[in-house]
Structure 1
Amino acid sequence: MAYLIGRSVDSGLEFSSSELTGALGDSVTVLPLLVALAATTSVSLPHVLVGFGIFQIVWGVYYGMPLSIEPMKALVGLAIVGSLSYPELAAAGLLAGAVLLAIGSFGLVGHLQRVVGEPVVRGVQFAVALLLLEAAVGLSAGNVPVAVAGLAVVGLFAVAGYRSVSILIVLALGGLAALVTAGVPTPRLPAAALFPAGTPTLSTAALEGTVAQLGMTLGNAAIATELLCGDLYDRDVSADSLSKSMGVTCLAAVPIGGVPMCHGSGGLAGKHAFGARTGGANVLLGVGYLAIALVAAGAVLAAFPMAVLGALLVVVAVELARAAFEPVSGRRSLAVVVGVGAVGLAVNVGVAFVLGAVAFWLLSRET
C-alpha cells in the first residue's frame, strides 16, 4: 500500500484528552449518516463501522496526522433518499475508488478540478444537502414532537457554543431509547464475507452518482484538504497522494461490506478545532468505531427512533449547505451553485453535475 501512495509524511502519534476530543468532533456528521444509511438500506452497520475503524487507524498512522475519514456524502446521501440501492452504492464505490487511484497515480487531480469548476462542485454539495433535508422531513413526519425536541437540544447547545457535543448527545439519547425498546445486544464480531450486504450492481444511477461524487471528492477531499494540511499542520501532502489513499480505501473497504469513504477538509478542520494534532486521534476514533461494531445489532438499529434521525439529518443538511455557499462569490458562481442544486433535487445529481459543468464552461468563455 505504501508503494501505491508514496512516502509517509510522519509517524508521530499522541494519545491525550485533546486528541480524544478532536476524534469525537469528526464523528459528529459521520455517525448520523451511517445510522441513517443502515436504517434505509440493506447495508450491515457493523461491517460499515469495521471499515471506518480500520481506515481511521490506517491513515492516522500512515500520515501521522488526524486526516478525516468520511462517507462519500453524495453517494451515501443518494442511497439514504432511495436513489441508490446498497448494491448500486457498492458498485459506485468500487468505480470511484478505481478512478481516484488511477488519476492520483498519473498526477491528474489538479487538472480535472480546474476543468469541472468549483461552483459546480459546490452545487453538487447543495443538491445533496437539499436531498438530505427532504429525507429528514420524511423521517421526522412519523413523530414530529421528538424531531422538534432533538432540534431544540442541538439549537440550545449551539447557542452555548457546543453544537458538536449536542449532536453526539442527541444520537446517544436515540441509542438509549433503542436499547430500552430492543434490549441490550450480545457483543459479537461481524461475520467475515465478501460483499455481505449484496453483490455490486452497476447501473445508470450508480454511474451518474459516481460522476457527481468524483466532482465533490476532487474539490473537497483532495485539493481543499491538501491546502488545509499545509495551513493547519504545516505538512506537505499532495492532492494526488490523498486521491490514491482514497482509492485504496474504497477498493479495500467495499468488498468487506463497507461504504465508499474519502478524506474531507471539513472533518480535518473539525478535528483541529477540537484539539487533534496527530494521528493518535484517528487511532482513538478507529478503536471506538470497532467497539461500536461489536454491539451494532440489527434489533437495536430497527428500534432507533426515525424522528431523531430526521432531526440529525436536518443538522447535517444545513451544515453541508453552509459549506457549499461559504466560499462562493460572484453572481455567476452563485447562479451555478443554486442551479445545480435545484436540478439535482428536481431530476438527479448526475444530470445536474453535467449541466452545471457545461454552464460553467460557457460562462467562463464569456469572461
Structure 2
Amino acid sequence: MAYSFPRETDSDLEFSTSELTGALGDSVTVLPLIIALAATTSVSLPHVLVGFGVFQIIWGLYYGMPLSVEPMKALVGLAIVGSLSYPEFAAAGLLAGGVLLVVGKLGLVSHLERVVGEPVIRGVQFAVALLLLESAVGLSVGSPAVAVAGLAVVGLFALRGYRQSSVLVVLALGAVAAVAVAGIPTPRLPEATLFPAGTPTVSGAALEGTVAQLGMTIGNAAIATALLCGDLYDRDVSPDALSKSMGATCLAAIPVGGVPMCHGSGGLAGKYAFGARTAGANVLLGVGYLALALVATGALLAAFPTALLGVLLAVVALELGRAAFAPLEGSRALVLVISVGIIGLVVNVGLAFVLGAVVFWLLSR
C-alpha cells in the first residue's frame, strides 16, 4: 500500500514496498564501507549512521526525489587500508567539502571535469578498487572457511540474478553472528560532541587524498549524477547544485562525527533499479540508519566476523572496478585507466591522479 502526500514539486512523497526496496538499493555500498571503516579506524559508527540518516532525509526532501547519499569512496577506501589516519581523513573531507562548495557556487564543476579527463577519474576508481581488494584479502586470510562460505553466498545470489542484494545478505549473516557473540545491545543515543574520533590534521597524505577524491566526486557524484537525474527521473538538476549540497554535507557532518559524503550515480541507479521513485525512499532509509545508530555498539562491531567483512569489501571493490572499465573511447584511454590504477596501488592515489591528469592534458593537446 502506498501513502502519498501533496508536495509543491512534481513528485509525490510515497511510502510503499517499492520505495523500501529502492532504499535498500542505496545501502548496498554504504553499509559495507562504513562498517569496514568503523572496524579499521577510530571512527564512531553510531555518529556516522546518524549523519547518513539525517542527510538522506534532508537531500531527498530538498530535491524531491530519491537522491543518493554515499561515502566518498576514495577517502573511505584510503582510510580503510591505512593510507590515511582518521585525523587526516577528517581533514581531507573538510577540504573536499570546502572546495566543492566554492566550485559549485562559482559554476565551475563541468569545466573542471573536462580538464581532469574521464580516464583519469576512472583510473582513480580502479586504484581504490585494487586497494580495497588488497585489504579484503588481508581481512579474510585469518578465517578462509568463513570467507569461502561468504563468497559462496554471493555467488549463489548472483547466479539467481540478485548480485547487489547478495551484499545485504552477507551483511545480515555477519550481524547475526555478531549478536550471537556480543548479545543484543541496549539502545542508546550517540554522545553529542565535536570531532568524537579525533581532531582533523592537514598533511601531505590528506592533501593527496583530497585531490584524488575531488576527481571522482566531480565526475561521478556531480556530473554523472546530474545526467542520471534527467535520464531516470526527468529532473533538471545541475552538477553545480549537487556540488554545493555535497560540500555543505561534508562541512556540517564531519565536525559532529560523520564522514565525507557525496551523491553518487551508482546509488541513484541502485535506488531506481530497486523501485524507488520518490523521496519516500530517502525518508525510509534515513529512519533506518537512525534506528541502526541506536544499537551500533563497539562490542557488536568487534564481534562482526572479519572474514565476512573481507567478502563485503571484495564485492564493493569488484563493483567499483567494473564501473571503472565501462566503455571508453580509444585504447589510450584504457591504458591511462590501468596505469593510474596500478600507480595508485603501488605508490599512492594522489600521485597517480596528478600524473594521470598531466598525461591526459598532454595527450589532449
Asked whether the two chains share a fold, i.e. TM above 0.5, the reply is yes
> Does the CA contact (< 8 Å) of 1:59 and 1:67 recur in 2?
yes
> Does the CA contact (< 8 Å) of 1:11 and 1:62 recur in 2?
no
1:274 and 2:267 correspond = no
Count of residues paired in the alignment: 358
> Does the CA contact (< 8 Å) of 1:11 and 1:63 recur in 2?
no
> Does the CA contact (< 8 Å) of 1:9 and 1:237 recur in 2?
no
Deviation of residue 11 (structure 1)?
6.2
The aligned residue for residue 49 of structure 2 is 49
TM-score of the two chains, using structure 2 as the length reference: 0.97
The aligned residue for residue 137 of structure 1 is 137
Unaligned runs of 5+ in 1: 1-7
**Which one is further off, 9-18 or 150-159?**
9-18
**Inter-partner Cα distance in structure 2 for 1:311 and 1:177:** 15
Deviation of residue 329 (structure 1)?
2.9
The aligned residue for residue 350 of structure 2 is 350
1:127 and 2:124 correspond = no
Secondary structure of 2:141's aligned partner: helix
1:72 and 2:72 correspond = yes
- Cα 1:289–1:316 shift into 2, 3 Å: same
Matches within 5 A, 1:173-212: 173-212=173-212
Matches within 5 A, 1:1-367: 12-365=12-365
Q: 4+ residue stretches of structure 1 with deviation over 4 A?
A: 8-11
Deviation of residue 362 (structure 1)?
1.2
Code of the residue aligned with 2:162 in structure 1: it is Y
Deviation of residue 25 (structure 1)?
1.1
The aligned residue for residue 3 of structure 1 is none
- Cα 1:152–1:59 shift into 2, 3 Å: same
What do the CA deviations read for 1:129-153 (whole angstroms, capped 9, x no partner)? 0000000000001101111111110
**Inter-partner Cα distance in structure 2 for 1:88 and 1:82:** 11
What do the CA deviations read for 1:196-230 (whole angstroms, capped 9, x no partner)? 11001111000000000000000000000010000
> Does the CA contact (< 8 Å) of 1:10 and 1:63 recur in 2?
no
Code of the residue aligned with 1:21 in structure 2: it is T
**Inter-partner Cα distance in structure 2 for 1:263 and 1:353:** 21
**Inter-partner Cα distance in structure 2 for 1:55 and 1:43:** 18
**Inter-partner Cα distance in structure 1 for 2:289 and 2:250:** 17
Deviation of residue 164 (structure 1)?
2.2
Deviation of residue 328 (structure 1)?
2.0
Code of the residue aligned with 1:12 in structure 2: it is D
**Inter-partner Cα distance in structure 2 for 1:134 and 1:289:** 28
**Inter-partner Cα distance in structure 2 for 1:139 and 1:100:** 33
**Inter-partner Cα distance in structure 2 for 1:143 and 1:309:** 11
Identical pairs, percent: 80
What do the CA deviations read for 1:303-328 (whole angstroms, capped 9, x no partner)? 11000000111100000000000132
**Which one is further off, 85-94 or 40-49?**
85-94
Unaligned runs of 5+ in 2: 1-7
TM-score of the two chains, using structure 1 as the length reference: 0.96
Code of the residue aligned with 1:256 in structure 2: it is V
Secondary structure of 1:14's aligned partner: strand
**Which one is further off, 321-330 or 234-243?**
321-330
The aligned residue for residue 4 of structure 1 is none
Deviation of residue 9 (structure 1)?
6.3
Secondary structure of 1:295's aligned partner: coil
**Inter-partner Cα distance in structure 1 for 2:344 and 2:332:** 18
